[in-house]
Amino acid sequence: MIANVKYVEISTYLADLVDSRLSPGDRIPSERALCQRFGVSRMTVRQAVDVLVNEGVLVRQQGRGTFVAQQKLDLQLRITSFGQEMRMRGMVPSTKLLETDEAVPPTHIAQALALSEDAKTYYVRRLRYADDVPMCVEESWLPHALLPGFFDPAPPDSLYGDLQVRGFRPTWGEDTIESVNLDRAQAALLDVEVGAASIVVTRRTFAEDVPVEFAVSYYRGDRYKLWVPIAQPL
Ligand code: GLP
């Protein structure tokens, strides 16, 4: 016996609608309208919408409705500054400075940067935007002794730009990638719901053989997907 296939018909209809007539951010027809059109219950309509929500085609926003999802950017694991990366994609980058400090960092960060126990780092926490949409929160620690006056009079707009001018152009790095559900504070900054998914990249960056930055970046899971080139087997 064929189970309830009506929901497949509805999700196909909605997918076609997204492809042909709707744009990212548009609202899809209401549950009521879909129930009437297909002569089905709300449960069946929800089942159909669930399929597309799970595929990332639609997003539900509590109390507001269901919308066509924004296209995700490829999160490419390469040593490019955020600003440069966005300009390369034809988007306009901007930054909100959240916090700065000049202090001894946590031990694991000192070790990652090959610093002695009492050595200081420049710390900066920034919210990064593309076309005025908050995309990621980035925390960076950079060796203090290496970069005299780095924060004078304020942290540079582009960390990588300034490193390059000082002869420390970032050339390679090491990443650890995790999925994290955003807490209240991070979610508020990124304008998503508490518990929303994020891709967290922890990176140690080198200029040739000098460690220049330890960074933790929280990328919005609804705006990014990881893109990784696959190497040949050894
Ligand atoms: C990327 C890296 C960060 C780095 C930043 C520098 O986003 N993941 O670790 O701090 O680029 O960007 P900018 O030069 O725009 O400050």
Which amino acid does the sequence have at 211? P
The CA distance from 62 to 44, in Å, is: 19
> Would you say 182 and 195 are in contact if contact means Cβ atoms under 8 Å apart?
yes
pLDDT in tens, 200-219: 999 999 999 999 999 999 99
Q: Does domain 73-227 have CATH number 3.40.1410.10?
A: yes
Mutate to test the pocket of ligand 1, among 160, 198, 218 (most ligand atoms within 8 A of CB): 160
Residue ranges of the domains in the chain?
Answer: 6-68, 73-227
**Nearest alpha carbon, ligand 1 atom 6:** 81
Whether ligand 1 lies within 6 angstroms of the CB of 207 is answered as no
pTM, rounded to two decimals: 0.84
197-207 vs 65-68, strand pairing mode? unpaired
> Could you tell which of 74, 78, 80, 82 is best to mutate to test the pocket of ligand 1, judged by most ligand atoms within 8 Å of the CB?
82
The class (CATH top level) of 6-68 is: mainly alpha
| ipTM, two decimals | 0.98
Q: Is 161 in the pocket of ligand 1 (CB under 6 A)?
A: yes
- 129 Cβ inside 6 Å of ligand 1: no
The answer, yes or no, to whether residue 234 has pLDDT greater than 80, is no
102 pLDDT higher than 50:
yes
